[in-house]
Amino acid sequence: MKNEILVIDDNFDIRNLISNILKDKNYSVREAANYDQAVFEIDKKLPDIAIVDVKLDKGDKDGIDLLKKIKSMSDLVPVIMISGHANVEMAVESLKLGAYEFITKPFAYDQLLNFISRALENINLKKENQVLENKLFHSFEFVGESIQILKIKKLIKKLSSADSRVLISGPTGSGKELLARKIHKNSLRSKEPFVVLNGALLQPNNYELELFGAENSDGSITSGFLEKAKNGTLLIDEVSEIPLDTQAKILRVLIDQKFKRTNGTKDIFVNTRIISSTSKDLKNEVLIGNFREDLYHRLNVVPIELPKLSSRTEDIPLLIKYFQQKVSEINGIPEVELNTSDDLLYSYNWPGNVRELRNLVERISILSQNENKSNVGRLLNEILNQNSTLNTENPNVSMSYPLKQARENFEKNYLLNQLKKNKGNISKTAEFIGMERSALHRKLKSLGIKGIN
């Protein structure tokens, strides 16, 4: 498919010359002679690249205004500014506003073609990365057979025909965004946009602009996240970080199902599903005054709590196998073979949760190419031992215990890990550790081990 370039210049001879050169290079070309024609062409369809003359045949609107309009619609479209009356201030302003290049007339057409070629390479790379990221999120499955994960999978199915707001809570790296994407993918809105607003990454004074957009003094419109997610799903990630005054405005949107852009007067009606996520205890945030109680109840229609990985270690072998396949597929390398019975995998605390496990598998997969199994196991232990020891307790604290208590602590941790590895199966655990089943039951009772979380 040919790349499309929009050439905007009020000088017919220059516009015609640029267009003919581009057509000779097999580009698809559209033309505009003034601001109004350019707006018509841009609104009809955004080009792959725009070549814009700064001075156009209209006093109050020029190429800088067109640059702002294009960038408000899509930051991915490269805009090459050209001018026969350029100065340093004009060039600096254009580049600050997002222009890809600024060149002065007369210019060598080889130079223009070179800029176009580089711009296309740059934009194609960005688009490929976006597509890849989107494919990865959509192709990644919600893996696990633990009781907690099976309940969540059933809930996802129940939500497929509903449009309820969902609040996902869970520690960092537990898969909150993946879960939100799965809910969207299984919903009636699956073919519409899925948009992520990360509450932790925005400056407080930018929240309203990012959420609601703006009507600018030049007449152009900056779309906010609510409009970008039109008919689709908006994930407000780390919703606890939103300032209280903005929380009040979000609450009003949820109640009225409409909002006004910043500096706007027209009501914009909302048809967007809201999913929120948080790694904090939102109930506690309400109690200490950091989060509005009324907004909490509006968002918390269907609560889902994702468990930390250390509380569902029976899923570790499934996750490792799955990530081995994905890492191999994505990086084009052979699958590495990891020993999923290694005790360290189950005694390690996994502070980064599933994300940390995925990173571990990817790191080992890349570093252990052409290595034997013993080296792979050694690498696994080296990586995990950098952050933790087999005991979750501080070794210095353990050393302060009497021998009997230290032994009991060790036995308890050891048996808990073995039970988790065997999914709570007493018979398999007893066989592995070389103990009679009845004796293991007595030992578990004496240590106060009642079940596996």
List, as one string, the DSSP characters of 186-211. Answer: TSTTTTS-EEEEETTTS-GGGHHHHH
- Beta-carbon contacts of 140 under 8 Å, excluding residues fewer than 6 positions away, are 178, 326
| Least confident piece of the model among 235-239, 355-359, 434-438 | 434-438
Tokens found for residue 165: 């707001």
pLDDT of res. 58: 61
Distance between CA atoms of 333 and 326, rounded to whole angstroms? 10
**Residue 277 in contact with residue 269, Cβ under 8 Å?**
no
Q: What confidence tens digit (pLDDT) does each residue in 45-89 have?
A: 889 999 999 887 666 778 888 998 888 787 788 999 998 876 778
State what percent of residues in the chain have pLDDT above 90. 34
Report the CATH superfamily, name and number, of domain 395-446: Homeodomain-like (1.10.10.60)
Provide the CATH number for the domain formed by 4-111 in this structure. 3.40.50.2300
Helix and strand element counts for the chain (H, E):
20, 14
Is 179 exposed, middle or buried, given 0-12, 13-18 or 19+ CB atoms closer than 10 A? buried
- The answer to whether domain 4-111 and domain 146-307 are alike in fold is yes
Residue corresponding to tokens 């006093």: 59
Which class does domain 310-385 fall in? mainly alpha
pLDDT of res. 218: 67
Q: Where are the domains of the chain?
A: 4-111, 146-307, 310-385, 395-446
Q: What is the 3-state secondary structure (H, E, C) of 293-346?
A: HHHHHHHCCEEEECCCHHHCHHHHHHHHHHHHHHHHHHHCCCCCCCCCCCHHHH
The neighbouring-strand residues paired with 278 are: 169
Q: What confidence tens digit (pLDDT) does each residue in 105-129 have?
A: 888 888 889 889 888 887 776 666 5
pLDDT of res. 155: 94
Name the pLDDT band for 304 (thresholds 50, 70, 90).
very high
Q: What confidence tens digit (pLDDT) does each residue in 329-378 have?
A: 877 888 888 888 888 888 888 988 999 999 899 888 888 777 676 777 78
State what percent of residues in the chain have pLDDT above 70. 87
Report the CATH superfamily, name and number, of domain 146-307: P-loop containing nucleotide triphosphate hydrolases (3.40.50.300)
Supply the pTM of this predicted model: 0.60
